[in-house]
Amino acid sequence: MRILLSAVTLSLGVVAGAISAGPGHAQSPYQYPYCALDGESGATSCYYTSRAACGPRCIENPGYVGPSGAMASTRNGTRRSPRR
């Protein structure tokens, strides 16, 4: 009887943990300040937090939204909305 009660308690604990965990959130390329350019296709990969990690063909992410949700700025200092 004790084994059955322990198994039921453990099962309920596992189910409760799985329910409370909730779904994960995907990382957006707009959360990273740098993009690496592919030399052949011209495609970008915008998942870099530093220029050093980005590599030699690195550009600033034009759609970067900073940690406070600030909009990206253009070279002349004006603000624009991020692309969606």
pLDDT in tens, 30-77: 899 999 999 888 899 999 999 999 999 999 999 998 776 555 455 555
C-alpha–C-alpha distance, residues 53 and 57, integer Å = 11
- CA neighbor of 62 nearest in space, from 38, 30, 36: 30
pTM over cut 0.85: no
pLDDT at 32: 92
What are 79's strand-pairing partners?
Answer: 73
What mean pLDDT comes out for the span 9-36?
68
pLDDT at 67: 74
pLDDT at 39: 84
C-alpha–C-alpha distance, residues 4 and 35, integer Å = 55
Banded pLDDT at 2 (limits 50, 70, 90): low
Phi, psi of 67 (to 5 degrees): -60, -25
